Chains A and B, each alone.
Chain A
Amino acid sequence: MIEASLAELADALAAKKVTSVELTERYLARIDRHQGALNAFVTVDRERSLAQARAADARLARGERTPLLGIPIAHKDIFCARGWLTTCASKMLANFVAPYDAHVIEQFGAAGAVILGKTNMDEFAMGSSTENSHFGPARNPWDPARVPGGSSGGSAAAVAARLAPCATGTDTGGSIRQPAGFCGISGIKPTYGLVSRYGLIAYASSLDQGGAFARGAADLALLLNAMAGFDARDSTSLERPKEDYARDLARPLAGMRIGLPREYFGAGMDADVRAAVEGALAVLRTLGATAVEVGLPNSALSVPAYYVIAPAEASSNLARFDGVRYGYRAPEYGDLADMYRKTRAQGFGTEVKRRILVGTYVLSHGYYDAYYLQAQRVRRLIAQDFVAAFGECDLLIGPTSPTVAFPVGAQVSDPVQMYLNDIYTVGPNLAGLPALSIPCGFGAGGLPVGLQVVGPYFSEARMLNLAHQFQLATDWHRRAPPGFAAQ
């Protein structure tokens, strides 16, 4: 059962082969067993989950049949969920119980999905390894000495280890795709504006986008069907007709033009990653796709631009965590300024403070033009590069990350090295484009390699089509980490 796809789970629930309560119990038991090794969850609330499962079973008993009804899902601890601790993996919010549901949580709730728990992450989604968590690092199920990637590392580790059939994440510069790649599962970041940010605790508002993890692309289509949709409470939410992201899954790839950005295949990518990505390209060719080399000439500027824009927005977004109204407040302080200073010094971790400082600096009088405005200009150039590339091809592919998962602790002292993990992933965020990562093989140490697919705006169905056809021809996404397969 734990190897089943979401569609198979829905069938089993409908056929009464299993109840939502049984399914939820099974996953909760697996979480219990593996939480110590993986630290994938921040919060598990058995009774709350089972209550939801019972409600789903009642809906099933009434004959209701919707794709996610009764299916357990893990949510990144960045989404506010009414009555649940919602910590963003920060000491600052370690005591914060959300009084309302994020749009994403509402959507999954309406679909009848059962919340299994809230997953570990880099504090306020700032990081590429889930090491920057107030609750300790999450671990990669393929090798617990290694990171699962980040910032949505808990969600990726949970799905890879079969602690949840699917999970939500958020992606600001690669925070879904990179951990999906590191953990050998599939993950999608939709077009900016497709999934409401209401109730998603903001890191960098113009880049943040909710998305999903599952083992296979067909599952992602179902998850996206539930998540996407206009929400008037988010002014950047896009008002578009509802679409079925699974509609193109079965379409053959014959005639599809795949773009290979030459900048993504240059130096900097490890040989094992390159081998797996080229192997994937060969598979896509046998499926009828043709490949064309394209250029993204400004892609070298994407990491620098990202690390100006994202910290700038973060420095302002995180100003609300001041100890006045909710969350952490320093136990002892003198005057108001001292309360702010101590609360924020004690409540935020090192990486968060680093980005707040960088962001404050780049927005400061006299530096704004040179950094923030310049980065915005670069951002436009990067978006134009993608538009030009899509004039020559339907979708782009390349590596998700330049390396496989690295050991816990290996990069914590070198933030610039850490930032380079995002070298292939930040471009689509800056341009607002949809992108996904699917497993495409294994590299050094038997660690998974991710294949990134980037598409034009609103091309999610087409991207999922490519991913699904690839997964029909390969079984990388079905491989379970040793020790986590079904018994």
Chain B
Amino acid sequence: MSWEIVIGLETHAQLSTRSKIFSGAATAFGAAPNTQACGVDIALPGTLPVLNRGAVERAIRFALAVGGELNRTSVFARKNYFYPDLPKGYQISQYEAPIVAGGALTILAGGAEKVVRLTRAHLEEDAGKSLHEDFHGASGIDLNRAGTPLLEIVSEPDMRSAEEAVAYARTLHALVRWIEICDGNMQEGSFRCDANVSVRRPGAPLGTRCEIKNLNSFRFLERAIEHEARRQIEILEAGGRIDQETRLYDPERDETRSLRSKEEAHDYRYFPDPDLLPLAVSEQWIAEIRSRMPELPAARRARFESRYKLSPQVAAQVTASRDKADFFERSLMKIDTETYPEAPRDLANVTVGELTSQMNERGLEFSQSPVSPEQIGRVQALVLDGTISGKIAKDVRKAMWEGEGDPDAIVARRGLRQISDAGALEAIVAEVLAANPRSVEEFRAGKEKALNALVGQVMKATKGKANPQQVNDLLKGKLSG
């Protein structure tokens, strides 16, 4: 009998505010240790937290994006534990009354859509960092990260495979970037996942779960879940029992190991933080934020499918990021899609194929592209009006990537204009027919494929500048004549 894997994710998204959640210190990554930690962050005696409105606004954007319930009053609580990188001896978080309750995310996995429910999302502050190297037997503490705003997003245990978990994490990652609340930089720790994993026989009650921490890439997430599920299944099949515990994924060894058992779990002694009043969110504020929300990925995908007739797969790829979707739409702006209804599909294919690999190679976002969407659109327009062929279009784009400037200039300078002068083309066709009697004979004997060879020869002779349809027509005319 088979096993079912049950997964829920807790994701920490670092909110993209310039200053910290409870102090005015900067949040920029990579500064020299302890240069971005003010009195509040190092917990000097007498200092007090003051909530950053920008962090709350980002949580509200998230709630609106996932259709979660925005609690009009939420409460900050203290989570008490001792650790050197936790300066106050408590983390300010939200416990019983989080700012966002519920909501859902639609993911695409294995070619099918699936709705993953969200449990909650709450605001909290990050801790600092312990540096265990180079301190001659002691540990160093860097408090630059202490107080960085986080939104902890907790899903229901709705995922049933590592693939679904990764699809969820990717969708969430795209969403938080889309609504501009998190930069999504996983290497810098701006988007981190913990996975709760259990296994059961299909239909059986939920098994005992283990929480796996430290998953800061989609690949680690996938491997850690697969490894953990295998570990649990092996134990259960050997007649053993799963102990609820927190485990740490070690990417170097590709394994998880126990961090602490349930018995060793902290008693965090949560209680409402008396330094902060309950957080009240007004209807007016929500309405104002709602009015500034961008079109969300799911809505945009649906619109692309219906308006531009993109396939669900291509629509999903074009809307993988807001940058990419914007780029695609801007490239379409000067094209008359009534006259050329197939143009959006062609440009979408160019966007998800050629353009995406160019960006990936260069490590750029679409918003940073050296070639503008208007230029890409112009190349397509040149194809549509017959100035250049589709094959030449690719060369023009390549030239643009190499910095050769505007498409019209490239076409003029390189002489790439399509030969559509019938007289010139007829002469070339005649030459090709004369030089390839065998192909002519084969075609006449009924081998349709022989025509392709002849078309190829004409294209070769014109360096690709001939209009392929025109060449086809001319050849057929001559051969049948």
A→B interface (CB under 8 Å): 79-80, 86, 88, 93, 96, 98-100, 102, 197-202, 204-206, 232-236, 312-313, 315-316, 318-322, 324-326, 336, 340, 360, 363-365, 368, 372
Contact = CB atoms under 8 A, between A and B. Distances in A.
A100 B39 contact: yes
Q: Which of A204, A234, A235, A326 has the most CB of B within 10 A?
A: A235
Contacts of B51: 235
A372 B271 contact: yes
Contact of A202 (B46, B50, B87): B46
Given A235-B277, A320-B87, 17 more contacts: A88-B45, A93-B45, A102-B46, A197-B48, A199-B47, A201-B45, A202-B46, A234-B48, A235-B276, A236-B274, A312-B271, A313-B274, A319-B82, A319-B90, A320-B89, A322-B89, A326-B44
B273 to A, nearest CB: 8
B141 interface: yes
The dominant DSSP class at the B interface is: loop
B88 A236 contact: no
A318 B46 CA distance: 11
A236 B275 CA distance: 7
A312 to B, nearest CB: 6
Interface in B70-124: 78, 80, 82, 84, 87-90
A235 B39 contact: no
Contact of B45 (A320, A324, A365): A320
B78 A96 contact: no
Contacts of B48: 197-198, 233-235
Contacts of B47: 198-199
A316 B271 contact: yes
B49 A235 contact: yes
Nearest to B82: A340
A206 B274 CA distance: 5
Contact of A320 (B43, B275, B277): B43
Given A206-B274, A363-B80, A372-B271, A198 B46 contact: yes
Interface string B268-281: 01110011110000
Indicate the member of A93, A322, A326 with the most B CB atoms within 10 Å.
A322
B421 interface: no
A321 B88 CA distance: 8
A336 B84 contact: yes
Nearest to B143: A325
A128 B87 CA distance: 30
Interface residues of B, number: 28
B267 interface: yes
Contacts, number: 97
B5 interface: no
A316 B89 contact: yes
Interface in B252-271: 267, 269-271
Nearest to B89: A319
A88 B45 CA distance: 10
B42 interface: yes
A321 B82 CA distance: 10
B50 A233 contact: yes
A15 B88 CA distance: 50
Nearest to B39: A100
A225 B271 CA distance: 34
A39 to B, nearest CB: 23
Contact of B269 (A86, A235, A360): A360
A314 to B, nearest CB: 11
Given A322-B82, A322-B89, A340-B82, A235 B46 contact: no
Nearest to B38: A100
A324 B46 contact: no
B45 A368 contact: no
A368 B268 CA distance: 11
- Among the interface residues B42, B47, B82, which one has the most CB atoms of the partner chain A within 10 A? B47
A324 B269 contact: no
Contacts of A93: 45
16 contacts: A80-B45, A80-B46, A98-B44, A199-B47, A202-B275, A232-B50, A234-B48, A235-B50, A235-B276, A316-B78, A316-B89, A316-B271, A322-B82, A324-B84, A340-B82, A363-B269
A233 B89 CA distance: 20
A205 B80 contact: no
B45 A86 contact: yes
Q: Which of B45, B49, B276 has the most CB of A within 10 A?
A: B45
A36 to B, nearest CB: 29
A93 B43 CA distance: 14
Contacts of A200: 46
A88 B471 CA distance: 94
A364 B46 contact: no
Nearest to B23: A233
Interface string B32-76: 000000010011111111110000000000000000000000000
B277 A325 contact: no
Closest 3 CB pairs of A and B: A319-B89, A206-B274, A363-B269
B114 to A, nearest CB: 36
B427 to A, nearest CB: 84
A365 B262 CA distance: 14
Contact of A236 (B46, B90, B271, B277): B277
B157 to A, nearest CB: 23
Contacts of A336: 84
Most buried by A among B48, B49, B78, B82: B48
A2 to B, nearest CB: 31
Contact of A201 (B39, B46, B89, B276): B46
Contacts of A202: 45-46, 275
A319 B89 CA distance: 5
B50 A316 contact: no
Interface string B412-428: 00000000000000000
